[in-house]
Amino acid sequence: MDTFDSRVARAIGVKPWERIVQDLGIFEVEIWHSRPIRVGRPSWLDLNVRKRTLLGAVYLAIQAALVLSSSLRPDRVFSFQMFNESSTITIHLSRRLIGPDGRERTVPTDGSWEVRSLLSVPAWFRWTDRVHDPILASIGRPVHAAYGVDAQLFRLQKALDDAASHMPRDTETRAIAADVEVRRNGHAPFVQHLEALRSP
């Protein structure tokens, strides 16, 4: 019968999963390595060394492509900028309306206005109901242009498009516009006009 002597195991440095078989006074060491038993089909994540190397190379190539192409994106995602821009933007919202006389006019707004549907049911539209970003939700006061002016103008245009497509009750507004006063890194200010037509 096989026996196991823990003192002998400690003397020769045998690990817990090793087994000592005593046969006629001669100790024979048999090493039993524990391996997990696979249940079910093999996983596609169980890759060999070659496939793991290939996967790592593809991952690094994708990351490098994202970093090198970051200047082509207005929001500079995946880019590295050591110093942030000292730029500010001031957003002034307005609506383009068709007056009773059929003429088009522009009406400034603070971000909320009363609208009337075709059934003459009054309702309110609020800019902050659709736009929750603290920078873009600030109307009429200068705010820091985080991630750069280009990034904020890009996001503001997307916000205008979203707001213009979610005004089904507002039959008066033809377009919602934003005149953005930009001060880029302490230079002279300029105004950038953005606009989005209301979806019918």
Check whether residue 12 and residue 93 sit in a common domain.
no
pLDDT given at position 15 = 47
Inside any domain, residue 70: no
How does pLDDT run across 40-79, given as a tens digit for each residue? 676 777 778 888 899 899 999 998 888 888 777 776 777 7
User: CB of 137 within 8 A of CB of 156?
Assistant: no
CA 122, 128, 132 angle in degrees (round to 5)? Answer: 150
| Tokens 């245009």 sit on residue | 157
164 exposure class (CB count in 10 Å sphere: 0-12, 13-18, 19+): buried
User: CB of 79 within 8 A of CB of 87?
Assistant: no
Which segments in the chain show pLDDT lower than 70?
Answer: 1-40, 42, 75, 80-83, 116-121
Check whether residue 26 and residue 103 sit in a common domain.
no
pLDDT given at position 131 = 92
Structural domain containing residue 26: 1-35
98-to-102, 113, 162 alpha-carbon distances in Å: 6, 15, 21
Helix and strand totals (H; E) in the chain: 4, 9
Inside any domain, residue 4: yes
Q: Looking at the 3D structure of the chain, how many domains does it have?
A: 2
Inside any domain, residue 83: no
pLDDT given at position 99 = 75
Check whether residue 22 and residue 94 sit in a common domain.
no
